Amino acid sequence: MAPYRDRKDAGHELGNLLVKLLPDLDILVLALPRGGVVVGYEVARALRAELDIFLVRKLGMPGDEEFAIGALASGGIRVLNEEAVRKFHVSQEAIDHVTAREQRELQRREQVYREGRAPAVISGRTVVVVDDGLATGSTMLAACRAVRSAGPRRLVAAVPVGSRQACRNLRNVTDETICAMTPEPFTAIGSWYQDFRQTTDEEVRELLEQAARERAS
């Protein structure tokens, strides 16, 4: 039997763990849509922290979109793989073209989820980046690099379950990486959830609205 009933259960367990490890008062939880938002909502409640989303779009190599030359994230944060850019002689014009295209898609998704709410302030705060699990960890890695460039006081990555290699890789870019479970062999993230049905855009919107209402009350 999988250890977590669903993402809500996983978030509750992860939140209880983080309360013991993060005594900070000004914490921002950044959840990666969509599944990470369900987990992040429970974590933010446990930490009495602000909740926001953090979107990441891969910047693909012109002509070979699967090969990433960088990433674009919420707040217009762009992180480039400078070594790949130099090695493959990617022009600034090509980088700007790919960035503009992905920025349009990122803005579209942010409008769907935020519904007019401004992005949370990252600079100078303890930021916890949350997802529902790590397989390769590439999206979380890109997110953490982007968050790091925005100047947090402390950067933490936290997931209910992840492969040991992915968790190790994250420790190079975070101040702390917390993987509640690192089972081996890992297989897929969904293997560790009894219910791993896809989270909808509507659920994401509702959780963000609910978190904002609770914080304002």
Separation between Cα atoms, residue 207 and residue 57, nearest integer Å = 22
- Which single residue is written with the structure tokens 């302030």? 121
**What does the pLDDT read at residue 94?**
93
Cβ neighbours, 10 Å, residue 195: 12
Mean pLDDT of 106-110: 89
Nearest to 211 by CA among 5, 13, 12, 48: 48
pLDDT at 136 over 90: no
Q: What percent of the chain has pLDDT over 70?
A: 100
Q: What percent of the chain has pLDDT over 90?
A: 71
Distance of CA 193 to the CA centre of its chain: 19
What are the φ/ψ torsions at residue 200 (nearest 5 degrees)?
Answer: -90, 160
The confidence band for 115, taking pLDDT boundaries of 50, 70 and 90, is confident
**What does the pLDDT read at residue 96?**
94
Half-sphere exposure (Cβ direction) of 201: Cα atoms closer than 13 Å: 8
Separation between Cα atoms, residue 173 and residue 188, nearest integer Å = 24
User: Which residue type does 93 have?
Assistant: E
Q: Which residue has the higher pLDDT, 78 or 131?
A: 131
**What does the pLDDT read at residue 216?**
86
**What does the pLDDT read at residue 75?**
81
Mean pLDDT of 81-106: 91
Cβ neighbours, 10 Å, residue 151: 13
**What does the pLDDT read at residue 176?**
96
The confidence band for 124, taking pLDDT boundaries of 50, 70 and 90, is very high
Domains 7-54+122-211 and 57-114 share a fold: no
**Superfamily covering domain 57-114:** PRTase-like (3.30.1310.20)
Residue ranges per domain, the chain?
Answer: 7-54+122-211, 57-114
At 11-52, the pLDDT tens digits run 999 999 999 999 877 899 999 999 999 999 999 999 999 999
The confidence band for 3, taking pLDDT boundaries of 50, 70 and 90, is very high
pLDDT at 114 over 90: no
**What does the pLDDT read at residue 63?**
86
The confidence band for 65, taking pLDDT boundaries of 50, 70 and 90, is confident
**What's the chain's Rg over C-alpha atoms?**
17
Mean pLDDT of 106-117: 88
Separation between Cα atoms, residue 187 and residue 189, nearest integer Å = 7
**What does the pLDDT read at residue 165?**
93
CATH 3.40.50.2020 fits 7-54+122-211, yes or no: yes
